[in-house]
Amino acid sequence: SSAASDVYKRQGLYFGRVTEEKGVDTVVKAYEMMPDRHVKIMGDDTTDEAKRLKAYIKEKNIKNVEFLGFKAGEELEEIIKGARFTLIPSIWYDNLPNTALESFQYSKPVIASNIGSLPELVLDGVNGYLFKPADAQELCEKIALLDDDAVVKKMGAASRARLEDRFAPQTHYDTLMRIFESVRRLSLIHI
């Protein structure tokens, strides 16, 4: 229905550095297998990896993967808002990627590699899905699970809640105070 607006077009988004360890090639291979879906790749497209992937797309005549180049500020925000979900396909350890937090900020489900800190951010089946790093076939399966508008809405809301719950300044403060308190108690014992 048109009421669901363009946000619910079947469009994924990768944003971030386009370098080998970010696993962007897994996204390209997955979408090559799913020509009826569309993905945008936003980030510096002059890197060696971006050039390699663009050449591959051209050679294979892949029509549903679009490189947007580097975007910032309002333009970046609009593109994130317009995505159905975002992708974090890292094949190397990513410690608390900002792209996850930005996705949560805009209530987007996230499909991420099951590696490093990503499983702490993306709770499989709650605010997105996890897949095996570099496994394009499994990535396809997870993307297909987000064809359902109701699931996208529910997971998007869970992403926003995750941000507020896990990364709110008060949460950080409370955690820090608990640590200080436990250290204080320990040091009292040893005096």
pLDDT in tens, 105-152: 999 999 999 999 999 999 999 999 999 999 999 999 999 999 999 999
Q: Are strands 110-113 and 128-131 parallel, antiparallel or unpaired?
A: parallel
CA dist., res. 28 & res. 39, Å (int)? 8
Query: Does 100 have pLDDT greater than 60?
Result: yes
pTM: 0.85
Non-local (6+) Cβ contacts of 137 within 8 A are 30, 33
Q: Give the DSSP letter string of 3-47.
A: GGTGGGSSEEEEES--SGGGTHHHHHHHHHT-TTSEEEEES-TTS
For 62-74, b/e burial (b = at least 16 CB within 10 A) is: bebbebbeebeee
CA dist., res. 5 & res. 7, Å (int)? 5
CA dihedral 54, 66, 60, 111 (to 10 degrees): 100
pLDDT in tens, 12-62: 999 999 999 999 999 999 999 999 999 999 999 999 999 999 999 999 999
The answer to whether 143 touches 13, Cβ cutoff 8 Å, is no
Closest by Cα among 77, 84, 79 to 67 = 79
